[in-house]
Amino acid sequence: MTVPVLTIDGPSGAGKGTISRLVAKKLGWNYLDSGSIYRSLAIALLQQSVDLTDESTIVKVAETMDLAFECGDELVVKLNGENITAQLGLESTGNTASIVAALPEVRRVLLQKQQDFRQLAGLVADGRDMGTVVFPDAPYKIYLTASAEERARRRYKQLKEKGIDANLSRLTLDIEERDRRDSERATAPLAMAENAFYIDSSNMSIDAVIEEALNLIR
């Protein structure tokens, strides 16, 4: 029996994480936050002060890192036994993740780790290439986006709520830079799958987006 998958791809800050988590909860399905796998690798590399141009060492770290995900109300991620959840959301982590995610060999090594999440009763998978590369046969695919300004505003609000200092114009520049890197890389670039359902959430509430996602499955 094939396990159903809903893929939600899109640029940074489009709300994929929030929407995916809530939709998975409503459906009673598993949830894959694929960005957190790239982010965990970034943390491992930063911890070990690996030179980000040293591709063979980066691939070795990706191959050997031990990741454990505990999905309760909040996602808890352990890297080699250490709880790294607090560092996952940092801008520096996301930016490093985006740099190493451009390496084809890194993507190849991390592919199986992502596909392993496909378990009954179903999977909601959030990322950049879920519908195009990791789960191309997924029966349900969404491409979720929002304007760069709106995404930077949401990110700014999120960081402020966590008590993290942030600068809106800096965040907008970072988001545009990350979009460019994620869209222009040669391997598995951010792209809308041919058969994906397009949602621009710039002027939509979270509930409205969830409703659209559930309608797609119904």
Q: Which residues bind ligand C5P (CB under 6 A)?
A: 12, 34-35, 38-39, 94, 97-98, 101, 127-129, 178, 182
In one letter, which amino acid is 35? G
Question: Between residues 13 and 122, which has the closer beta carbon with respect to ligand C5P?
Answer: 13
CB of 189 to ligand C5P, least distance (A): 9
Residue number of the CB closest to ligand C5P reads: 35
Question: Between residues 28 and 137, which has the closer beta carbon with respect to ligand C5P?
Answer: 137
Total residue length of the chain? 218
CB of 115 to ligand C5P, least distance (A): 12
Sheet holding 30-33, edge to edge: 30-33, 123-127, 5-9, 140-145, 197-200
Question: Between residues 122 and 127, which has the closer beta carbon with respect to ligand C5P?
Answer: 127
What number of CA atoms fall less than 13 Å from residue 46's CA on the CB side?
A: 18
Rounded Cα–Cα distance for residues 6 and 76 (Å): 22
Question: Between residues 1 and 87, which has the closer beta carbon with respect to ligand C5P?
Answer: 87
CB of 1 to ligand C5P, least distance (A): 25
CB of 42 to ligand C5P, least distance (A): 8
Q: Residue 166: left if φ>0, alpha if ψ -120 to 50, beta else—which one?
A: beta
Instruction: Give, as one character, the DSSP assignment of residue 147.
Output: -
Query: Strand ranges (DSSP E) for 41-116?
Result: 67-71, 75-79, 82-83
CB of 85 to ligand C5P, least distance (A): 13
Question: Between residues 12 and 29, which has the closer beta carbon with respect to ligand C5P?
Answer: 12
